[in-house]
Structures are given as structure tokens and as C-alpha cells.
Amino acid sequence: MHVVTGTSRVRLHPLRTRRDGSDWIVGRVETGEFVAFPDIGKRVIELLAEGRPVDGVAERLTAETGTDVDVADFVAALMGVGFVAEIDGRPTGDDGRESPSLPWLKPRHVRWTLRPGVRAGLVALILCGLAALAVRPEIMPSPSVMAWSRFGTVSLLTQIAITWSLVMLHELAHLCTARAAGVPGRITLGSRLQFLVVQTDVSGVWGEEKHVRMTVYLAGMTLDAAIAAAGFVLLCVVPPGGGVHTALSIVVLTQIDAMSFQLLIFMRTDLYFVAQDLAGCRNLYGDGVAYGRFLIGRLTGRGGVSPLARFSRRERSAVRLYTLLLVLGTAVCLAVAGTIVIPALAAIALPAFATLLNGGDAPAVVDAAIVVAVLAGVQGLWVRTWWRRHGPKVRRWSASAAALLSGAVRGG
């Protein structure tokens, strides 16, 4: 336990600072933790960083602004978000950093990804692809190409290999552009409703200027579009019917599907972060959830202050619109999962299970085993990532429900 006294001196971790409207965004790039402070809060941080004791900072602030600030409480708040490295020479403990992905990748290796010429080249390639499609619309692949082999498992495994390769390229685009800006970045598995996703944590980029943030947010989609565009151009010259033409067709369709997924901004996709930034909001998803709960509470007769009361008019409008998208989008996704996705998976899995249980010729058994292994592996990964995120909350709810039930039984 670190006690902050009037004579305490504080050493802060390296912090990134930028102006955001009337506030200052201050945070640690390596942890991605950023907080908005008013001018006086930023000034407290500057004075603490100079090595002044807590009482000395308070006296200086009073002399400069005429305002009395409880600097000790402010330091405690900074400790709560992991900004304080030492107090009176004693480390505060775990610094909250997680190992970045590809730590050997240095900013100097990928600084070229932020150059305007690279963006211009990718845009030119995308335009060429669109022009090729406009001139020869027949090159648009048919979805039936996904089942290119008479063996379903061969088509399935081919699709998995291509999809995961393209997904990793998408995430590497985020990682490289973030690393070029000095942000570590970390690639992990995650879940979005019923979807298993690969995600790159680039929250440390929040301290950068807007053009850098936008480049990092859109890097994955830009690369997806460029790969699809290159596929369209090559489909104009590669003879149809061959293996190369089939592979290009699968790549193009996979990229179109990937870019379509990014439109689901109610699930915090890449375009969600773009929309959040353009709207001037700092936690659009969290604010949307809070406002949705407030509306439900009001409908059920519970009072309370609207969570939008502290926002500007522009932010209130953005949160209201996002809350509508959040509710409708979540409902539609869950409805699709219940009426289409789960029945489709059952239609694939049940015959495979039946073959394994009842037997059959060797190719059919191998095919069924691969189908079951792939489906079980994907769903198992989803369950694992979902539980890692929501497990503690579920345990708390279960403990509360058990306590209420136990109290009711004793009372009865």
C-alpha cells in the first residue's frame, strides 16, 4: 500500500498527450489506457513530472489558478489508471503492460506504411480493380466456386486456409501501421456476438493525431480492398476453369465478405472506431450500452439521470443513433444465428455425427471426422474467448443468484 503525503514525490510512466476539444487526452501508449483531463489536470501532471512534492504542486496551482486542488487524491486517481511508476522511489507494482505481438518488429521497419505514397498506391490499385469490374462485370465470382471440389472437406479446408491467411494479413496491416507510430499493438482472438474474430489492440494510438489514428483504423480494410482489387485485375487475364482462377475467385469473395463484416459497427468493427472518432466520442459503445439501459429503466418505472446529460449536443445525437444501431443490429444478428446459422451448422454436423456413429466406407468416415473436428475446433475457440471475456461477470451473477435463492429458502 502506497501512502501519498504532502512531501511525496511521484515518478510517472511516459505519457502521451494531445488536445481534444476543451480537454486533454493523456495516457500510456504501452497499455492503451487514456483519460481526458481539463487544463488544470494536465497542469498537475506536468508539475508532478517535474519532480515537485505533492504540497509543492498544490501551492504552485493555487498561485497560478487561484484554485485549491487535492493533489494527493489526484495522484491516487493516477495510480488507479496505472500512470504512476514510483512514489518516493518505491515502485507501485505491476505496470499493466502486456507483451506485444511480434516484439522484434520495430517502428523503423514499418515507418513506410504511414507514408502518403503508400496510401496513394493502394487507392490507385483499388480504383483499377473497380474499373476492371465495371468493364467486365462477368469476372465477379459466383458463390458456388466455394464448393470447387467434389470432396466437401477439401473445399472446407481450402477456405479455412485462405480465410485465416487473409485475416492475418488484415491484422498485420493494423499492427504494422500502429507500430510505425510507436504503438506496440497485440493480436488476439475475440468474440463478437456469435462470431469468432481476430483482433488487434491498437488502443495506444488514441494519443496520436487524427490522420494517424484513421490510417491505423482503416489499414486492414484498405489492404482487404487492395487484395480484392488485385484479384479482379488478375481475373481479367487468367483463363477460367483452372486452379489459379478458382483460387483468385475464392480470395475475392472472401475479401468482399470480410469488408461487409466491417459494416457491422454495432460490434466494434474497424468502421466503429472510425465512426467513434468522427463523432467526437470517446467510448461510443459503452455510452450506447449505458443509454440503452437507462431507456429500459425508464420504461420499467426506474428513474435516474440520463447518461447523456454531460455530453455535448453532437455527442448526444451520436450516442442516440448508435444506441438504435446497437439494439437493432444485435437483435438481427441473434435472430440470424437462431434461425439460419445454428440450423445450418446442425445440417452439416448431424450427418457427420451419424456417419461416425453408424460407420461407412473409409472416405466417408474420414470426411465426417474432419467436418466434426473443424466445427468443434471453431466453436471451442469461440467458447474459450467468450468465457475469457464474460466469465467473471457470469460467476458474479451466479453467486448473486445463489445468494438470493439461499436467502429465500432460509426465509421460507
Output the pLDDT for position 217: 96
d(CA 285, CA 19): 22
Residue 411 burial (CB < 10 Å; 0-12/13-18/19+)?
Answer: exposed
Q: Where are the domains of the chain?
A: 10-91, 107-279
> Which of 120-134, 181-195, 292-306 has the weakest average pLDDT?
292-306
Q: At 224, is the secondary structure helix, strand, or coil? A: helix
pLDDT at 227: 97
Three cell numbers at 80? Answer: 488507479
The pLDDT of residue 273: 94
DSSP letter (8 states) at residue 181: T
Q: Would you place residue 7 in the very low, low, confident or very high pLDDT band (cuts 50, 70, 90)? A: confident
- Whole-number Å distance between alpha carbons of 50 and 9: 10
Burial class (CB in 10 A: 0-12, 13-18, 19+), 279: middle
Which tens digit of pLDDT belongs to each residue from 354-390? 888 887 778 888 888 888 888 888 888 888 888 888 7
Q: Can you say how many angstroms the Cα of residue 70 is from the centroid of all Cα atoms in its chain?
A: 36
pLDDT surpasses 70 at 276: yes
Comparing CA positions, the residue from 100, 99, 82 lying closest to residue 91 is 82
| Helix-strand-coil split of the chain, %, nearest 5 | 65, 10, 25
Residue 126 above 70 pLDDT? yes
With bands split at pLDDT 50, 70 and 90, how would you rate the model's confidence at 196?
confident
pLDDT category of residue 125 using cuts at 50, 70 and 90: very high
> How many beta carbons lie within 10 A of that of residue 143, not counting itself?
9
Start-to-end C-alpha separation, the chain: 44
Over the stretch 157-171, which tens digit does the pLDDT of each residue have?
888 899 999 999 999
Is residue 3 predicted with pLDDT exceeding 80?
Answer: no
For the segment 68-112, what is each residue's pLDDT rounded down to a tens digit?
Answer: 888 889 998 998 888 999 888 888 876 667 789 999 999 999 999
C-alpha cell at 292: 440503452
Q: Which of 13, 67, 12, 11 is nearest to 39 (CA)?
A: 67
